[in-house]
Chain A
């Protein structure tokens, strides 16, 4: 069974860089999207960005200027860096495995995407 284990420092000062790593255990790294998602206290889920096994990335346009996601396939790990943090970046950060695809049903093409495996979450607090 695939498991995601994530780690990173939990307390940052404004303007510092948040760094998180997520390790994938028990499954293949290829063929999936590897995402970072965050959830501010009392709020909903916000997608930060993703990477695939070949290193192709996609970022949330609202965070793109500050986000870097990288992958180390030799270790089955992927990482998040978020620069110039402020109090608004205080949140629980999750890593997750995503899978997408397409098909047809009664002649109509459709697409699907879902995140089936999640890390337990890491709480980051930004405070001076």
Chain B
């Protein structure tokens, strides 16, 4: 399969920790990358590779993987973290790019 599966919605209380997951066959061999998208804006890369953050991304964002599942963890979620989050990788054959369906994160 070349699909990546995410939960449609997740909520977290302000200051608590939340994990957003992504499942797919390609994640057995590819590290997922993660993107944050706020309304009306382009996606922003927040995690790539094993657990790397681009410059300017707070260290409360971290990534991990196990088997067919990749996870994005936000430790101490802030109000500004409320957004849609997408995972991404190439497919198992490496020929195409795939995105997860996205997870809407609500910070309560």
Which A residues are closer than 8 A to B by beta carbons?
33, 35, 37, 44-47, 50, 58-61, 94, 98, 100, 105, 109-116, 118-121
Given contacts A45-B43, A45-B102, A120-B42, contact A112 B97 (CB under 8 A): no
Inter-subunit contact A58/B96 (CB<8 Å):
yes
In this assembly, does B60 line the interface, its C-beta being within 8 Å of a C-beta of chain A?
A: no
* Chain A to chain B contacts (Cβ below 8 Å), 24 pairs: A44-B102, A45-B35, A45-B43, A58-B95, A59-B96, A105-B50, A110-B31, A111-B30, A111-B90, A112-B31, A112-B49, A112-B50, A113-B30, A113-B89, A113-B90, A114-B33, A114-B49, A115-B45, A116-B48, A116-B54, A118-B42, A118-B43, A119-B42, A121-B42
Interface size on B, residues (CB 8 A): 28
Q: Is the interface of B mostly helix, strand, loop or mixed?
A: strand
Chain A's closest residue to B45 (CB) is A116
In this assembly, does B94 line the interface, its C-beta being within 8 Å of a C-beta of chain A?
A: yes
Minimal beta-carbon separation of A72 from chain B (angstroms): 22
Inter-subunit contact B95/A112 (CB<8 Å):
no
Inter-subunit contact B48/A112 (CB<8 Å):
yes
Minimal beta-carbon separation of B5 from chain A (angstroms): 12
In this assembly, does B44 line the interface, its C-beta being within 8 Å of a C-beta of chain A?
A: yes
